[in-house]
Amino acid sequence: PLLSLSERERERARERERRMEESGLNPDFLERSAISLRNAVKQGYLTKEGGKGLKRNWKKRWFILQGDYLYYFTDDAAKKPQGVAPLADYSHCEATSSSTAKYGFRLFSNATKDKEAGGAKKRVYLMAAAKSTERDAWIEAISGALKKIHNVQNLYGRAAERVEASIYMKLGETKFKEEKERDLFANVFADRIQKGRTPTMWKSSRPIFDQEFEFTIQPDSQTLLVQLKDQRKKNKIVGRVILPLSEFNDQQMHSGWYPIMPSVNSVILSGQVKLQCLFVDEKIQVRIMAAQDLSSQDSSGLAAPYVVVGYGNQKHQSKVAKKTLNPIWAGEEASFNLIDDDSIPIVVEVYSQKSDKADKDKDKERLGTERDFMGEVILPLELIRQANGEAKFYELKDKQREETGAASEGDIRLTVQLREAVILQDNLYDALFGVLMVDDMDVTKKFASVVVNKERPVAEALVKSFEMRASATHYVKTMTRNEVDATSDPHIIFRGNTVATKSVDMYMRLIGMPYLHYLLREPVQEIYAAGSKRSCELDPLRLDESSEKKRAVLLKKNLKTLVRYVDLIWSSLQQSFNVCPGKLRQIFHWVQSKVRAKFGDDTLSRYTAISGFFFLRFLCPALLTPKNFGLLDVHPPSNVARDLTLIAKTIQNLASLVEFGKKEPYMHCLNDYITKNFTPMKAFLDKLASIPTSPIDEIPSKRSTTNWGREMARVHFHLSDSFDAMRATYGVTDIRIVELGEILAILDEEAEKVGGKVKSRRFYQNGNSSRPSSMMLAKVPGLKKKKPKMSLAVSGNRPVANSVGAQHMRSGKDHPARRSGSSPTPQPMHLTKASSSKQSKKRHDRSPSPSPSPSPSPARPARAPSLALSPPGGSIPPLAYDTEGNCASCNLTLNATEESVMSMGKRWHKACFVCSECGKEIRGPFVNNAGVPRCLSCQPKSQVCARCELPIDGGFLQIGSHAYHSACFTCHLCQAQMGTNEIFGYLDPESGVNVAICINCEKKQTK
């Protein structure tokens, strides 16, 4: 098969992805095993009604209530849940009884309380217990969890606040004491849940992974594990690093060399054992009660655990519990004579007995044992005395290194940070977002300049936050312009790992992944399917052929294969610039224009600046690690990975407009191909960096599922973490940094209300954690008026000037049309300064401003049906703020120093009045797209004339969101045919509707 998954498995994977997207769950929730859910509020077997319609049935399921979620599994050892019910979507739980469910109860969704509430339909769960007492216990537990959730929601709203713990980890260089070639890769685990995997470093003795991971963890997580495997030896574990999370509680960045310890087991140890220890006369009694969450040891996912308790030379072995990971021994007792030496501890070891004779014989030959080690607990006598006879659970750990005498296998460079962020309600982050936007993003640029060793997570949080407020394009432009201004050598521009370059990386992934799949998925899958049948290897030292003549024939054949694959991708690229997302082309155009303006004398920088982003940071990494970019479902084997590496090298050299040099002489045979394509590559890069002048059939971006509150909570964390560095670099009196400190202090106060004793990570003012005083805003002298410009929207079947009849900036004057009954002259959209007359509010007052009473307006005819698609960016938070003195986009106060735009009944910063699709500043006609502007180049074409409602076969005029036959688009007054450059808005005095008129009629109206 082409890929490892069957079509049926693919369909199941798509169904699981759909379930996650509908429920809004983190993907980890559907990957958790039953044994990984610790400290559950309640767990046990229930029967659950399933199926649909007439095919309803009852099945026994293992239910676990933990936190805000109710999981159900096929049994208590299942590796993945059958389903997860987010309790925030459910209202109440009550008992019910029927012939099929004597001790039943129902869990009702919020939607069932009000069927007219709308929104996604949530299911009602019907479950049944074996006894009435068991049913009542489940109802009490679930109702308690629901009450806790609803209390938070009632206090803070539907977007319930929560505390989220996450880990940032970067894997660097690996050094083994025994230097030999390995095909090494690393798996990263949080407890027993895999969070990531690095690509395989083929034939390397000191591999450098250079891989970053960021993932959420559960509140009860205990350890991180980095597991190193050698793919050459059938994924044998060659070492591991165990990191207790308690070492990172300070939430600081920890970077250093960590020892790689040999692995005792092929599985990850986990679980707890419950013991009761007593001193009775001259004896120590150890009662073995139970164990829970043990690691599976056989093919069925279970184990046969037993306990060995040792004290000096005295030992006791418990009975074997069959086929379980949660054994109960019910107080089986081990009694030992007390030894005079108090330094000798009690050692409790848990093992699993082999059930299969073949496994026994194999393990006895290999390990000298017929059992699997599952963990141990070492109990010093002093700890036993402190327990005072109380039965307690103890965490099982791996065997101590001192006992086994094993030394480390080597070291690995790791960077780790634990982050605990309180995610607040979205509107509480408005002030923080506002201070990141103002003064040409001054605070954002200062923040980025002091970030060290965490450029990627900072860039990811910023890009996603700005994208959800339709400002990511503006953010990326600002950061890249700042990078260009700070670079003196054109040959190194955008080559470093900064927040700016990582932001472009993240934005390309966020917006351009469907485009990347369109380009590379088929070629990469063809290369993967070919496997060992074809090769691109050009290095003679890597070929197995000993005959020089045969080697030459093979090299010629491999060169032909390599050129074919490169040409396949290159040809696809040359034909694809018109399906590249417009937002990316907008960024590339901006970057190229800034580079040309600064390095005009350098003829190559205009090209290498674009290729450095698109090829070096996007396309070529996808070829090198196709699984990480979703091009393959598995990591490729060594021969395919080598072919993809050579293809990526060739394409990168072509994009960089350089030939292969002395470092790789075996690649010189490709230099003719590269130089021949220099001119086409320059033409392609120029096209990629041009703004579309006509409608394009771009590949739509995937609908975003980004949670704005979560990303802003991460921005809050990183800003707090870097605040001291910002003050040290730019001074404690910097007005914007003082303002930032005030906002961070307010957010910390709100976080404490939600998360309890959440440690404040930084002092925000001269070592004092109290909130700084509010800033005093300076008054600015008189303002200059700007030349007005017109924007177009569509009303009914006719285009209109968007600001005709619109309100002026609130300055105490009425609109001319309201002061008199005469017909007003066409009014353009106004660019004006915000009034500085009154500032009765604090700058960052988070309480909602009272909305001004809407002015009466004449009834409008129904709009022509729009065929516009939903924005590719997906769920953008509401931008409809109509509060006096606040920008409709960023919700920041409009002060006296800032230009603003009045349009669509709202006020905007001039810099914020940009297209919601491409981020380009609105300077001419645009479309009112559900309250936000969209430029005409981003507006999809309609297929039906908005006036005659007949199909359009040939040429047409695109006006706003509507298309017209050329003959149908006429002046409202004289019926003369018009073009798009002749449109003027006019308020018809008879109908009170804004209409379109030609230039001649406009002149008559203004006389």
Q: What is the mean pLDDT of residues 609-614?
A: 92
Residue type, 861: P
pLDDT tens-digit series, residues 628-641? 898 988 888 889 99
Range scoring the smallest mean pLDDT among 810-814, 934-938, 966-970: 810-814
Burial (CB count within 10 angstroms: exposed 0-12, middle 13-18, buried 19+), residue 687: middle
Q: What is the mean pLDDT of residues 306-321?
A: 92
Task: Please say if the pLDDT value at position 493 is more than 60.
Answer: yes
Task: Please say if the pLDDT value at position 664 is more than 50.
Answer: yes
Helix (H, G, I), strand (E, B) or coil at 715: helix
Say what the pLDDT of residue 860 is: 27
| C-alpha distance from residue 353 to each of 273, 305, 350, 874 (Å) | 17, 6, 10, 53
pLDDT tens-digit series, residues 132-177? 889 988 998 898 888 877 665 444 344 456 788 889 999 999 999 8
Say what the pLDDT of residue 823 is: 31
Range scoring the smallest mean pLDDT among 193-207, 356-370, 457-471, 529-543: 356-370
| C-alpha distance from residue 440 to each of 498, 843, 889 (Å) | 19, 18, 15
Say what the pLDDT of residue 1002 is: 72
Q: Is there a contact between 717 and 755 (Cβ–Cβ < 8 Å)?
A: no
Say what the pLDDT of residue 804 is: 26
Q: Is there a contact between 397 and 677 (Cβ–Cβ < 8 Å)?
A: no
Beta-bridge mates of residue 444:
none
Say what the pLDDT of residue 911 is: 74
Spell 380-417 as b/e; 16+ CB within 10 A means b.
ebeebeeeeeeeebbebbbbeeeeeeeeebbbbbbbbb
Say what the pLDDT of residue 18 is: 53
pLDDT tens-digit series, residues 704-737? 667 788 889 999 999 998 999 999 999 888 888 9
More confident residue, 927 or 202: 202
Helices (H) and strands (E) in the chain, counts: 21, 35
| C-alpha distance from residue 646 to each of 92, 147, 180, 630 (Å) | 60, 59, 24, 20
More confident residue, 820 or 657: 657
Say what the pLDDT of residue 787 is: 33
Who contacts 179 (Cβ-Cβ below 8 Å, separation ≥6)? 205, 206
Say what the pLDDT of residue 676 is: 94
Say what the pLDDT of residue 116 is: 41
Range scoring the smallest mean pLDDT among 54-58, 77-81, 231-235: 54-58
User: Percent of the chain at pLDDT above 70?
Assistant: 69
User: Percent of the chain at pLDDT above 90?
Assistant: 28
Q: Is there a contact between 39 and 220 (Cβ–Cβ < 8 Å)?
A: yes
Confidence of residue 770 (pLDDT cuts 50, 70, 90): very low
Which tokens sit at 498? 């900064």
Say what the pLDDT of residue 989 is: 57
Residue type, 580: C
Q: Which residue blocks in 417-492 are alpha helix, DSSP H?
A: 430-450, 455-468, 472-485
Cα(975)–Cα(92) distance, integer angstroms: 63
Q: Which residue blocks in 321-396 are alpha helix, DSSP H?
A: 357-367, 381-387
Report the relative pairing of strands 201-204 and 182-190 from DSSP bridges: antiparallel
| C-alpha distance from residue 617 to each of 196, 496, 548, 564, 652 (Å) | 20, 11, 38, 23, 10
* pTM attached to this predicted model: 0.57
Average pLDDT, the chain: 74
Q: What is the mean pLDDT of residues 441-445?
A: 93
Q: What is the mean pLDDT of residues 181-191?
A: 89
Task: Please say if the pLDDT value at position 950 is more than 90.
Answer: no
pLDDT tens-digit series, residues 94-103? 898 877 788 8
Taking residue 448's Cβ as centre, other Cβ atoms within 10 Å add up to: 23
Greatest CA separation found in the chain? 114
Beta-bridge mates of residue 256:
414
Quote the radius of gyration of the chain (alpha carbons, Å). Answer: 33
Residue 887: φ, ψ to 5°? -70, 140
Owner of token pair 């007949």 = 950
Q: Which residue blocks in 697-734 are alpha helix, DSSP H?
A: 708-730
Who contacts 523 (Cβ-Cβ below 8 Å, separation ≥6)? 565, 568, 569, 572
Task: Please say if the pLDDT value at position 926 is more than 90.
Answer: no
Taking residue 812's Cβ as centre, other Cβ atoms within 10 Å add up to: 7
Say what the pLDDT of residue 188 is: 92
Confidence of residue 669 (pLDDT cuts 50, 70, 90): very high
Which tokens sit at 221? 């997580």
DSSP state of 894: -
Hey, which bits of 38-161 come out as E strands?
42-50, 57-66, 69-73, 83-86, 90-96, 104-109, 125-128
Who contacts 367 (Cβ-Cβ below 8 Å, separation ≥6)? none
Task: Please say if the pLDDT value at position 2 is more than 50.
Answer: no
Cα(304)–Cα(21) distance, integer angstroms: 38
Cα(603)–Cα(601) distance, integer angstroms: 6
Say what the pLDDT of residue 174 is: 93
Q: What is the mean pLDDT of residues 43-70?
A: 81
More confident residue, 979 or 714: 714
| C-alpha distance from residue 687 to each of 674, 683, 809, 936 (Å) | 19, 6, 41, 20
